[in-house]
Structure 1
Amino acid sequence: MTYFPDYLKTYPNMNTSSPLHISLNRLPNGFRAHRHDFLEFSYVVEGAGREAINETLHEMLPGTFTFVLPYQIHELYTGTDGPLTLYNCMFSMDLLMESSAGEGLLRLIDLAGERPFVQLEGSDRERMKWLIEDMYREYAGREPWRQTMLQTRLKEILVLFDRTRRTAKLGGTSGGHHSADSLRAGDGRKTGSIWSIIHYIHQHYQDELALSDLAARFSLSVSRMSEVIKETTGQTYSQFLRDLRLRHACGLLASTEMSVAEVAMEVGYGSYKTFSRVFRESKGLAPKDYRRSIAARRSSADT
């Protein structure tokens, strides 16, 4: 039986039009094994430790930048030399899916077999430190164009990471490791990457996306497609699809004036009643009440 450690599903600022949260953390005792359905990067400021991503260990030192993909199991270890101080930024895959930029930065996730970390030195290290510190300042402030600046910094940070990773690989100082994410059908023919499937679901969850249609698109049997999604996400296909739709719905309820019926249609539910029932079962309250609770929370924070 596949073992799944803690599944973290939430982070501050998640259900907004700009789902991103950055924090500076001090870890005296590491952090337990966990996974999540959002993206995360970390950058070490002080201390030393190690990180395991899908059971592959790497060192964490000042200047280490790590990019963790959704559903990857990772754990942090610290030694006797003191705590590990690092920035952590959690954000939605949606921020990498801008239509104006084609596939945006989703190409980074397609490179799942590449090394998930770099050890930055020299000018690259100084540049990354400045970008992350500036992003942290923007997040904590309330300046005009805050969301635009945060998304701009995020893109600059990820581009710098990937450029550094590619340069190091070409120079022979670091190499990609073999990806365990490739899928094979019964005849042994490679049929695609699990990340291609995850991307496709993220891009089309608002449509009528039957498991059989998804399986046919990626040349897998329905049972194999079901197994792949369960093995990767720890959820059934219907649970995974529901969570994606409800996360989008929460963001729309919190950040727009769309009616509940319009939100239901926008996230892929053809029936208002079905959407309301599923939302209540998952969140414990009706969509309208959820919207009121978010508005009350914001009002309280502003006073």
Structure 2
Amino acid sequence: MKPVFAKVPEVVQNDVFAVRTADLPYFSTEFHFHKECQMNYIVQSEGRRIIGDRVETFKGGELVFLGSDLPHVWHNDKWYFEKNDGEIQARSVTLFFDSDKLIELLSHLIPVNKLQTFLKMARRGMKFSGKSKKALTQLLLEMTTQQELAQLVTLLKILELLSATTEYELLASSGYVNTYQAKDNDRMDRVFKYIFSNFTSGIKLDEIAALANMNKQAFCRYFKSRTQKTFTEFVNNIRVGHACKLMTEKECRIAELAYDCGFNSLSNFNRFFREMKGINPRDYKKMISP
């Protein structure tokens, strides 16, 4: 998995923070990382996202914070790319800030220990919930309509809430380390996009290795060294996440669901689902049913 070292909006390179809105037919960024922190609110869209070594589905209403140099991408479902009418279907609002510059500025005014602790923890990525998510989202949206000093005041409110909240889920695993380098090429970005577009059908290892211009053995070593997952684990993680999504959206038989998500047998589906979710598909379906 190879993220590209990315440049965020130019204003952040000159100032301390910036807010960016996206209104697009689909999200089209590559798997990437940057030293700036970001808080990302998905207004409208759905698909799969990768944050560090965490792979799962996303949908509108999600609020996530990413610490410095944490690899990430939001990739839309396949049908987004099949529509060519230009309709806006992917909306997001993102706050970027340079944590080093911000800490330096604030350290002259207030104690910054709590904020530093939060930013260190945020290197694993955080997904917010509850009252904190509601409050943070409202403040972020307010920033899109404000100018200069008013934006700064709102940013300080956001930082205060981030430093105090406990309503979040850490995303990347506790042992996750970003092993990527800016000099890496784009081979794994191609691999990811291929997997996301074809995971419901059989993906052969020799085909995906060829896409990365590597033999199978070299590719497997490279992939696991970057993702901390084997290729099979990674693909099955995506398939299980897709199964969970389908179970929340429509009534479906477990056997049909297994094949719709790309598993070649019901027994494999049950086994991998239980390994990843700690519960079998049938009980999971009952648990989420109203």
TM-score by length of 2: 0.49
Of structures 1 and 2, the one scoring higher in RCO (CA 8 A, sep 6+) is 2
